[in-house]
Each structure stands twice: as structure tokens, then as C-alpha cells.
Amino acid sequence: MALNLEQKKSIVAEVAEVAASAYSAIGAEYNGLTAAQMTELRAKARESGVYLRVVKNTLARRAVEGTEFECMQEGMVGPLVLAFSMEDPGAAARVVKDFAKANDALTVKLVSISGQLLGAGELERLASLPTKDQAISMLMALMKAPVEKLTRTINEVPGKLVRTVAAIRDQKQSAA
């Protein structure tokens, strides 16, 4: 069914708004996926905070114009599903990577983060980025380590003194 001008404008505006606030974007060719498989992909994307949309390429090119994902315009050919990470940079990559493992029909064509177009092979690296919670816990562990080491070092001084005094006592008792 053909879209009228107002519908096209609303789709472009919606995708442009999402693209303006997204951390990363993945473009994948979905040729050969069934409707049930696409529904499953959409459900997984929704659970992970990923905006997933099948948009005509001409509308998608207009939508990403002026955003960090403008670099994807030239690669927008063929039937593409666009996935935008809204919560953390690796979310869309993880969803697409996991789904593509089980469904060979989904082929990654475009990967973009921070205004850079990466090769499709970089999907794995983007998917391995930690989530926000994981990154915070890693940072906290890094900040906590020196304090713990200082505490153990300071605590070792009286501990060593006690062990030395106990060794001297044991030595005197055995000599007597």
C-alpha cells in the first residue's frame, strides 16, 4: 500500500527523532525472514530497549540526514531493517547478533556508532561493549581496588607485630 505525503513525513520525523537520540545503529538485510521471525526479532528488540523499524530507503536516508548516522546513507540499499540502540551503545548489536545466529536470513550490512560507519564485521566488537550497569560496576571496582589494597597493607602491620610477638613467646616457652 502506497503511503501518502503526510504518512511519509510522520515516518521520517519519527525515525529522525529516534536517530537523534540513539547511541548506535545497525542496518541488516532481512530478505527471507518470515513474518513470525520478524515479530520475534521485534519482541527481542523491545525487551532490550532497541528501536527497530523497516523503512523505505529513501525515507530512511532523509530521516538520518543531519544526525550521527548520516554516514549510513550510501549503504541503504535493498530491504533493510534499522535497529537503533536507545539505552546503551551495544544493545542493538547484541539483539541483531543473537538473532542472526539462529536465522541466517538476517545479514548485517551497516554498523554505525558516534558518526562512524564501521564494517559489518565490527558487529561482534560493538555487541561486546558493556551495558551501562556493567560499566558502572567495572568503574566502581577499579575505584575500590586501591582503597582495599591500602586497608590490607595498613592492617598487615599490626598483624605482623602480633605474629612476631607470638613467635618470640613460643620460642621462649620452648627454651625454658
Q: What is the pLDDT of residues 99-123, one digit of tens each?
A: 888 888 888 888 888 777 888 777 7
Q: Which of 69, 56, 57, 58 is nearest to 16 (CA)?
A: 69
Q: Identify the residue with better confidence: 124 or 139.
A: 139
- Domain residue extents for the chain: 5-129, 130-176
Annotate 35-52 with DSSP letters as a single string.
Answer: HHHHHHHHHHHHHTTEEE
Query: For 5-129, CATH number?
Result: 3.30.70.1730
pLDDT at 1 over 70: no
